Amino acid sequence: SSSSSSSSPPSSASVSPSSSPSTSPDRKLSSDTPLTPFNLVEKTYKPKEYNKTIQEEELYALQAIFLEDFKMISSNPPSFMIIIPFPNSFILSLKRSQNEFPTINLEITFTSNYPDEIPNILVQQEYLSLAEWPHQKEFELITFINKIANDSLGSSMIFGIVSNVKDWLEINSSNVKSNSFIAPSPSSSASSPYYTCVSSSSS
């Protein structure tokens, strides 16, 4: 077994809101959802006062909760990263150097309508090879995040998403090498690391 000792470049996948939720209220993630890179941030960020207040309060709370694992990227539109470490048991099994701690990084950008639609979420992993973290695994995690986000529409959702991702990693990281995935799996796998997840209207 020749497992590569050098760390691979970060891979990424994305969750993003629908570009026009009013015209396609019933769209949901499926095996034929078109693949797209993370470039769907709206050209003009103009939230209503209600949405702006919710977003500002949530950002303040997230900074206080995640401390050094929270990195602010920009303020207009609000964009930030939350770093989620893999479980210790998984890290130890990789026998890596002390400077290489695998993480899942969520790069999140609020839209004008957040939290009434899901934000743009770029999911990145660091310090894992393709064998240790295959694209199928990324798709499983994106599908899971999309479900949590859609279930949380209308209220602040980032802390809930991060908490659920931590729980998901606890269950699934031990199953990476056996390709036994616990989270809901799509009907077909995709070869690209980019995926689009679309918020569905609750009305």
- Output the pLDDT for position 132: 80
Spatial contact of 199 and 150, defined as CB atoms under 8 Å apart? yes
CB 112 within 8 A of CB 46: yes
pLDDT, residue 72, reads: 96
What pLDDT score does 68 carry? 96
List of residues 6+ apart from 79 with CB closer than 8 A:
41, 72, 73, 107, 108, 109, 110
C-alpha closest to that of 78 among 50, 54, 111, 51: 111
Three-class SS string for the chain?
A: CCCCCCCCCCEEEEECCCCCCCCCCCCCCCCCCCCCCCCCCCCCCCCCHHHHHHHHHHHHHHHHHHHHHEEEEEECCEEEEEEEECCHHHHHHHCCCCCCCCEEEEEEECCCCCCCCCCEEEEEEECCCCCCCCHHHHHHHHHHHHHHHHHCCCCCCHHHHHHHHHHHHHHHHHHCCCCCCCCCCCCCCCCCCCCCCCCCCCC
What pLDDT score was predicted for residue 126?
85
pLDDT in tens, the chain (203 residues): 444 444 454 556 666 554 333 333 333 333 333 333 344 556 788 999 999 999 999 999 999 999 999 999 999 999 999 999 998 877 777 776 666 788 999 999 999 999 999 999 999 888 888 878 888 888 999 999 999 999 999 999 999 999 999 999 988 876 655 443 444 333 333 333 333 343 333 33
- The answer to whether 51 and 114 have CB atoms below 8 angstroms apart is yes
pLDDT score recorded for residue 97: 66
The structure tokens 């990145």 sit at: 124
- Residue 52: the pLDDT is 95
Q: What pLDDT shows up at residue 133?
A: 82
Note the pLDDT of residue 63.
97
CA distance 13 to 135: 9
